[in-house]
A and B are shown apart, each in its own frame.
Chain A
Amino acid sequence: MEKKGISSQIFKIANNMGAWLIILLVGIVLTAATDTFLTYDNIINVLRQSCVVAITAMGASFVVLGGEIDLSTGMAATFAGCNTALLMTKMNMPIFPAILISVFVGCICGTAAGLIVTYLKIPSFMGTLGIQYVIQGMILITTNSMPITGLPEQFLALGRGYVLGWLPIPIIIMAIFFLVGTIALRYTVFGRSVMAVGENAEAAKLSGLNVNLTRIAMFTVCGFCCAFAGIVQASRMSSGQPGSGTDLSMQALAAVYIGGTFKGSMLNTLAGALAWSFVNNGLNLLGVNAYWQKVALGIIIIFAVALDILRARLSTAKH
């Protein structure tokens, strides 16, 4: 009996840790297997690499928690990055207004997705797939499919700069996003409404929540996050890259599911995104061939989500 108590206690802790557990395991294995893993440079590097995916994934989390899916996040991010670059180079706009306008356009993309899903009643899977192609087209039209280079030096600080000489700015941006996101999800009517609509839209409506507005708002918030992620991305790569966003949507969704965000905490998404980067990093350090890395990552997604489902089943049914 006593023993069962302890093991169920451990189980509970493991269950609550979600993807943090993966990070911990990867960390332990790699610390033992390599001496390059547990160094300041490597860890900071991994964190920095995670920023774009993590911020995008945070946006996607709101949509997924609200019971929908968004396939256009990566494109929306790329669009914002290219827009900022275009505005700054071709139109000689100062940095701040350029960012502002691009973020605004990102929000509009999100809102458009929200309106389509809410009022045309198209399943979000198809609706956002359509949006993603529309945005891709817009990117190709505006950039002519050419990378936009020659971005101002100050702008590059956003993705490459440091505060106090050691703390990368993108990590600070990521931290701020997750702080605000966590508060928004836990402590505000918006967050509660998103979860309620995602769980049972009819009951949410009958409890007096504004279901339509919630749906539109969560897509808008998602668009906002994506736009910001895309701008950080452009800064990191010192250019607006029209082709950079194809994989990002999927990585963001993977982070949400690997993280087990359904448990209701935004930090799980962060864990999901970080776990992804750490596994990537680990495979690199272990010298796994880039093609095999893809295979490994695919398997890890399946494994992580299967584990999550198993965990959910264990914690409800058997005990």
Chain B
Amino acid sequence: MDETSEVLRLTKINKSFPGVKALTDIHFSLQKGEVHALVGENGAGKSTLMKILSGAYTKDSGNIEFEGRNVEITSPKFSEELGIATIYQELNLIRRITIAENVFLGRYPKKGGLIQWNKMNEDAKALFESFGIQIDVKQQLRSISLAQQQIVEIIKAVSMNAKVVIMDEPTSSLTTRETEILFRIIRELKARGTAVIFITHRLDEIYRICDRMTIMRDGCYVGTRQVKDITKGEMIAMMIGRELTQQYPVRNVELGDIVLEARNLDDGGYRVKNVSFSVRAGEVLGFAGLVGAGRTETMRLIFGADKKAGGQILIDGKEVRINHPRNAIAHKIGFVTENRKEEGLFLRSTVRVNTVMAALGKIMRLRWFFDFEKEKEIAKDYVKKLNTVTPSVNQKVMFLSGGNQQKVVLAKWLFSDSRIVIFDEPTRGIDVGAKREIYEIINQLAAEGKVILVVSSEMEEIMGISDRILVMHEGEISGELKKEEFSQNLITEFAVGGK
């Protein structure tokens, strides 16, 4: 590739937050028409670097060259005008208007001051078709699934004829189908000469779609490689600064008695039908299946977050009544939810407040009043135990990176003395190093005789950490596999309801 095809070059970018040096002398260069992966551990500074490009943050020092010119990106608007489109994780769409209107929001085609609805709908249709997507653009946005809405958001961003498209973990909330659509869009963009920056923690996606990759670690630049020349092992070593010999740590736990038993759980025929299983002390029971198979819903029934229509839950052989998460917590069940931001965390609150939230009774003085000293000690303790990276326990959780946020959620359930811990997609959006740490924590919990339920859509993960796997299909358990029977084919077969 020659010099002229470079669209973007960053040199010596620095950025600090109070107490955190987020970026140190970062280099980055982007060619026309390439898909460039940006990888690194949680908190490595990937999002921060992208926010500097999109104008959300301003850099402390360094140089940005766009199409050969030096530029100072001072605002999101300026960035957009340059031709940098950013796809944010949160949706910026309006639910009560049509897909077409959303795409052309603020730039409706007009004639004599009036909006030309037909032209807009036709243009929108043509736009989606140019990326090979068939969709009725006249339907309201709220009538399509969240994953589809994400696709609309992406189409909207790229429709502005951007020269550079930034995607920060676009796949973390997409289903397999939408991920395929996204990849198709990316290939089309590439063919048009648009450059794409693609952030992900899923390494196999890099091999599927990316040309080059830049690796960051602790806010520093580690290197840039051609994807086809690098092995997964090398990639991981560059990311975390050491070899990771085994992604899934081995566990040697003698299983105990049956602790938790579910009998004929049912939510009235919606998403969970007649689910029964039992788990022993020290056992890690995996739940596999396609997105929407009813695994999360099953866990929510066990935890009392949704109403049961039928079925029983037994702990230590005795039936227990769980009608509210409060009851579940009293029976020492913990629930690390799938969406940590929406369901697990109080983002604007501090690490310490989040840590004690499920066991407020344990930090009381004189029965009625909080003991703030104790709260602080406890939070510090868990930060140390779980290796959470945070400047202090008084940091607001919203400023922590994904992996560290997940550790705060974990701390909450460890502090509430959970004996039965439910993990729903425990490593979503989490880097390889932190994944391994989470697996180690799971192992340690199992070794202490606790019961672990894991829901995961990542085939490798579920096979790597479970002792036994239940596969769900349309709300029912469609198959059970013992450790020696684990195989990707078998799980897939059960997951689609085969056999």
Binding site for B on A (CB under 8 A): 8, 183, 186-189, 192, 195-196, 199-200, 202-210, 316-319
Contact B370 A317 (CB under 8 A): no
Contact B58 A208 (CB under 8 A): no
Expressed in whole angstroms, the Cα–Cα distance for A192 and B353 within the complex equals: 9
- What are 11 A-B residue pairs whose CB atoms fall within 8 Å in the complex? A192-B357, A200-B342, A200-B345, A200-B346, A203-B342, A206-B335, A207-B325, A208-B330, A208-B358, A209-B357, A318-B57
Contact B58 A318 (CB under 8 A): yes
Contact B303 A206 (CB under 8 A): yes
Residues in B with CB closer than 8 Å to A205 are: 305, 324-325
The one of A186, A187, A195, A210 that contacts B326, using a Cβ cutoff of 8 Å? A210
Contact B57 A189 (CB under 8 A): no
Residues in A with CB closer than 8 Å to B56 are: 317
Contact B337 A187 (CB under 8 A): no
Most chain A beta carbons < 10 A, residue from B303, B329, B346: B346
Residues in B with CB closer than 8 Å to A202 are: 342-343
Q: A203 and B346 in contact (CB under 8 A), knowing A208-B325, A319-B18?
A: yes
Residues in A with CB closer than 8 Å to B270 are: none
Q: A199 and B369 in contact (CB under 8 A), knowing A189-B360, A207-B358, A207-B412?
A: no
Smallest CB–CB gap between A66 and chain B, Å? Answer: 13
Residues in B with CB closer than 8 Å to A208 are: 324-326, 328-330, 358, 416
Contact A188 B368 (CB under 8 A): yes
Smallest CB–CB gap between A316 and chain B, Å? Answer: 8
Residue of B nearest to A193 (CB): B360
Contact A187 B343 (CB under 8 A): no
Residues in B with CB closer than 8 Å to A204 are: 346, 357
Smallest CB–CB gap between A171 and chain B, Å? Answer: 26
Smallest CB–CB gap between B393 and chain A, Å? Answer: 16
Q: Does B222 contact A (CB under 8 A)?
A: no
Residues in A with CB closer than 8 Å to B353 are: 192
Residues in B with CB closer than 8 Å to A206 are: 303, 305, 325, 335, 337, 343-344
Residues in A with CB closer than 8 Å to B361 are: 189
Residues in A with CB closer than 8 Å to B305 are: 205-206
Contact B369 A187 (CB under 8 A): yes
Which residues of B368-405 have CB atoms within 8 Å of chain A's CB atoms? 368-370, 398
Contact A199 B348 (CB under 8 A): yes
Expressed in whole angstroms, the Cα–Cα distance for A187 and B342 within the complex equals: 25
Q: Does B347 contact A (CB under 8 A)?
A: yes
Residues in B with CB closer than 8 Å to A317 are: 56-57
Contact B325 A200 (CB under 8 A): no
Expressed in whole angstroms, the Cα–Cα distance for A196 and B354 within the complex equals: 10
Total number of residue pairs linking A and B with CB closer than 8 Å = 73
Q: A186 and B335 in contact (CB under 8 A), knowing A210-B326, A318-B58?
A: no
Expressed in whole angstroms, the Cα–Cα distance for A217 and B337 within the complex equals: 28
Which residues of B15-63 have CB atoms within 8 Å of chain A's CB atoms? 16-18, 56-58
Q: Does B349 contact A (CB under 8 A)?
A: yes
* Main secondary structure on B side of the interface with A: mixed
Residue of A nearest to B327 (CB): A208
Contact A195 B17 (CB under 8 A): no
Contacts A187-B368, A189-B364, A192-B357 given; 15 further ones with Cβ under 8 A?
Answer: A189-B360, A192-B370, A199-B349, A203-B343, A203-B344, A206-B303, A207-B329, A207-B358, A208-B326, A208-B328, A208-B330, A210-B324, A316-B398, A317-B56, A318-B58
Expressed in whole angstroms, the Cα–Cα distance for A2 and B235 within the complex equals: 40
Smallest CB–CB gap between B347 and chain A, Å? Answer: 7
Expressed in whole angstroms, the Cα–Cα distance for A8 and B347 within the complex equals: 24
Most chain B beta carbons < 10 A, residue from A187, A207, A210, A316: A207
Residues in B with CB closer than 8 Å to A195 are: 349
Contact A188 B343 (CB under 8 A): no
Residues in B with CB closer than 8 Å to A318 are: 57-58
Which residues of B98-120 have CB atoms within 8 Å of chain A's CB atoms? none
Smallest CB–CB gap between A172 and chain B, Å? Answer: 24
Expressed in whole angstroms, the Cα–Cα distance for A102 and B398 within the complex equals: 44
Q: A199 and B329 in contact (CB under 8 A), knowing A206-B335, A207-B358?
A: no
Expressed in whole angstroms, the Cα–Cα distance for A202 and B342 within the complex equals: 7
Q: A187 and B344 in contact (CB under 8 A), knowing A208-B326, A210-B326, A318-B58?
A: no
The one of A183, A187, A196, A210 that contacts B346, using a Cβ cutoff of 8 Å? A196
Encode B298-339 as 1/0 by CB contact (under 8 A) with A: 000001010000000000000000001110111000010100
Most chain B beta carbons < 10 A, residue from A186, A202, A206, A319: A206
Expressed in whole angstroms, the Cα–Cα distance for A183 and B360 within the complex equals: 16
The one of B357, B364, B369, B398 that contacts A207, using a Cβ cutoff of 8 Å? B357
Expressed in whole angstroms, the Cα–Cα distance for A192 and B357 within the complex equals: 9
Q: A199 and B326 in contact (CB under 8 A), knowing A187-B370, A206-B303, A206-B305?
A: no
Residues in B with CB closer than 8 Å to A203 are: 342-346, 357
Which residues of B129-163 have CB atoms within 8 Å of chain A's CB atoms? none
Which residues of B47-94 have CB atoms within 8 Å of chain A's CB atoms? 56-58
Smallest CB–CB gap between A207 and chain B, Å? Answer: 4
Q: Which 5 A-B pairs have the closest CB atoms?
A: A208-B329, A187-B369, A207-B357, A208-B326, A207-B358
Smallest CB–CB gap between B305 and chain A, Å? Answer: 6
Contact B343 A186 (CB under 8 A): no
Smallest CB–CB gap between B19 and chain A, Å? Answer: 10
Smallest CB–CB gap between B251 and chain A, Å? Answer: 28
Expressed in whole angstroms, the Cα–Cα distance for A183 and B372 within the complex equals: 13
Residue of B nearest to A189 (CB): B360
Expressed in whole angstroms, the Cα–Cα distance for A10 and B413 within the complex equals: 39
Expressed in whole angstroms, the Cα–Cα distance for A140 and B297 within the complex equals: 51
Smallest CB–CB gap between A43 and chain B, Å? Answer: 33
Expressed in whole angstroms, the Cα–Cα distance for A208 and B360 within the complex equals: 10
Residues in A with CB closer than 8 Å to B58 are: 318
Contact B370 A196 (CB under 8 A): no
Expressed in whole angstroms, the Cα–Cα distance for A206 and B343 within the complex equals: 7
Expressed in whole angstroms, the Cα–Cα distance for A4 and B347 within the complex equals: 28
Expressed in whole angstroms, the Cα–Cα distance for A110 and B291 within the complex equals: 44
Smallest CB–CB gap between A92 and chain B, Å? Answer: 39
Expressed in whole angstroms, the Cα–Cα distance for A207 and B343 within the complex equals: 9
Smallest CB–CB gap between B352 and chain A, Å? Answer: 12
Residues in A with CB closer than 8 Å to B17 are: 319
Smallest CB–CB gap between A67 and chain B, Å? Answer: 12
Contact B357 A196 (CB under 8 A): yes
Expressed in whole angstroms, the Cα–Cα distance for A184 and B343 within the complex equals: 26
Residues in B with CB closer than 8 Å to A200 are: 342, 345-347
Residue of B nearest to A196 (CB): B346
Expressed in whole angstroms, the Cα–Cα distance for A192 and B369 within the complex equals: 11
Residues in B with CB closer than 8 Å to A210 are: 324, 326
Expressed in whole angstroms, the Cα–Cα distance for A307 and B305 within the complex equals: 40
Residues in B with CB closer than 8 Å to A186 are: 370
